């Protein structure tokens, strides 16, 4: 694996060549120099707020020929979801080029406003909409970063003009509230946010496995990001954070039953530092099919039980709330 240095340019002579991992946005995403097909680029900012009662998503992203903007909330026990979004064919929102610097991504029209903003150690989600079914909807959320390090990976695929530049931030304390018509959800003390910042030219058919969790154990902050997507020879997104320190992992074997997502999942890093089983509690299945787009995601929330191994010391983790998903896409 290769650790990327600050100021590394992603594109050289128009082709992505800088592949590896880093703990912040050190890569110069010089997309203006890229020689890639105009309708192949995909860019998104995806925020997720998770607690033991519900999960909320805020997304601004495009696939060159269309932009998607939405707020979604999935309530576990009632298996009920709210969605307020827009699909804008042949329109493009200006995206930022670095997830680690102050920036703002905005969509605004007469009946829908969504802004994703970073200022210092804080990130803000501001949302207002008038939905035909629900009526007035809104969200005012502040995320406070508690962790200096994050995980960034630059990943190649088989074709030389394909790449995936991705940064994931977990362990962000979440404050605020969300309202869908008459229903209001407050973010309590055990609410945490994560960011999935993605830029890439991807194979038309692809799949990934991704898991993340944030919270406290033994009075100390613990969070992790695990997953596999593309060629991970140069770097993986597998990392955990405990008590303010960062522990990078190589490969993590994620085992699950693709015919029964509510069966137990298991996780084991190649160095033995991360060993868990998840007992699923809730299953959120989404499917989008329109024209040539055919995307499906199986997201499972549950309790992780297992241990971390740090400096030959085993730290037991019990009933830690987190999720894992498997997605397969054609887009």
In tens, the pLDDT along 260-276 reads: 999 999 999 999 999 99
Task: Determine the average pLDDT of the residues in 311-316.
Answer: 96
What integer pLDDT is reported at residue 291 of this predicted model? 62
pLDDT in tens, 191-242: 999 999 999 999 999 999 999 999 999 999 999 999 999 999 999 999 999 9
In this prediction, residue 331 has a pLDDT band, given cuts at 50, 70 and 90, of confident
pLDDT in tens, 10-40: 999 999 999 999 999 999 999 999 998 878 9
Residue 76 φ/ψ region, left for φ over 0, alpha for ψ in the -120 to 50 degree band, beta for the rest: alpha
Is-contact 275 252, C-beta < 8 A?
A: no
Is the predicted pLDDT of residue 49 greater than 90, yes or no? Answer: yes
Q: Is 31 helix (H, G, I), strand (E, B) or coil?
A: helix
How many Å separate Cα 80 from the centre of its chain?
A: 21
CATH 3.40.50.300 describes domain 38-202: no
Least confident of 35-49, 110-124, 284-298: 284-298
What integer pLDDT is reported at residue 75 of this predicted model? 95
d(CA 151, CA 218) in angstroms, rounded, equals 24
Is-contact 4 22, C-beta < 8 A?
A: yes
Tokens at residue 49, please?
Answer: 């707020």
What integer pLDDT is reported at residue 292 of this predicted model? 65
**What is the arrangement of strands in the sheet containing 239-242, beginning at the earlier edge strand?**
245-248, 239-242, 220-228, 205-217, 313-330, 293-310, 274-290, 265-269, 252-255
Is the predicted pLDDT of residue 289 greater than 80, yes or no? Answer: no
What integer pLDDT is reported at residue 172 of this predicted model? 98
Closest CA to 19 of 4, 40, 29, 30: 4
Correct CATH for 204-331 of 1.10.620.20, 2.40.160.50, 3.40.1050.10, 2.40.370.10: 2.40.370.10
pLDDT in tens, 132-156: 999 999 999 999 999 999 999 999 9
pLDDT in tens, 55-92: 999 999 998 888 999 999 999 999 899 999 999 988 88
Task: Determine the average pLDDT of the residues in 312-326.
Answer: 97
Domain with CATH 2.40.370.10 in the chain: 38-202, 204-331
CB-CB neighbours of 64 under 10 Å: 16
Mean pLDDT (the chain, rounded): 95
Tokens at residue 58, please?
Answer: 């805020």
* Percentage above 90 pLDDT, the chain: 90
What integer pLDDT is reported at residue 290 of this predicted model? 65
């Amino acid at each position: 694996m290769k650790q990327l240095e600050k100021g590394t340019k992603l594109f050289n002579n128009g082709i992505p060549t800088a592949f590896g991992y880093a703990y912040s946005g050190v890569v110069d995403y010089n997309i203006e120099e890229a020689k890639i097909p105009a309708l192949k680029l995909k860019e998104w900012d995806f925020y997720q707020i998770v607690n033991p009662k519900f999960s909320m998503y805020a997304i601004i992203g495009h696939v060159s020929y269309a932009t998607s903007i939405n707020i979604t909330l999935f309530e576990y026990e009632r298996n009920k979801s709210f969605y307020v979004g827009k699909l804008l064919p042949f329109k493009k929102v200006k995206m930022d080029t670095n997830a680690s610097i102050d920036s703002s991504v905005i969509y605004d029209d007469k009946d829908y406003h969504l802004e994703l903003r970073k200022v210092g150690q804080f990130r803000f989600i501001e949302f207002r909409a008038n939905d035909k079914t629900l009526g007035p909807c809104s969200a005012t959320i502040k995320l406070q970063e508690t962790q200096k390090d994050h995980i960034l990976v630059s990943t190649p695929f088989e074709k030389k003009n394909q790449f995936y530049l991705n940064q994931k931030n977990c362990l962000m304390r979440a404050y605020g509230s969300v309202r869908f018509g008459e229903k209001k959800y407050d973010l309590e003390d055990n609410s945490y946010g994560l960011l999935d910042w993605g830029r890439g030219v991807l194979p038309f058919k692809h799949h990934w496995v991704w898991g993340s969790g944030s919270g406290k154990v033994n009075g100390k902050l613990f969070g992790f990001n695990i997953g596999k997507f593309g060629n991970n020879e140069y770097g993986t997104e597998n990392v955990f954070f405990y008590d303010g320190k960062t522990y990078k992992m190589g490969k993590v074997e994620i085992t699950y039953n693709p015919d029964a997502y509510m069966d137990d999942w298991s996780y084991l890093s190649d160095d033995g530092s991360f060993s868990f089983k998840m007992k699923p509690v809730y299953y959120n299945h989404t499917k989008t099919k329109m024209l040539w787009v055919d995307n499906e995601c199986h997201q499972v929330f549950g309790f992780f039980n297992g241990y971390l191994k740090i400096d030959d010391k085993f730290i037991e983790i019990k009933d830690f709330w987190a999720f894992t998903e498997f997605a397969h896409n054609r887009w």
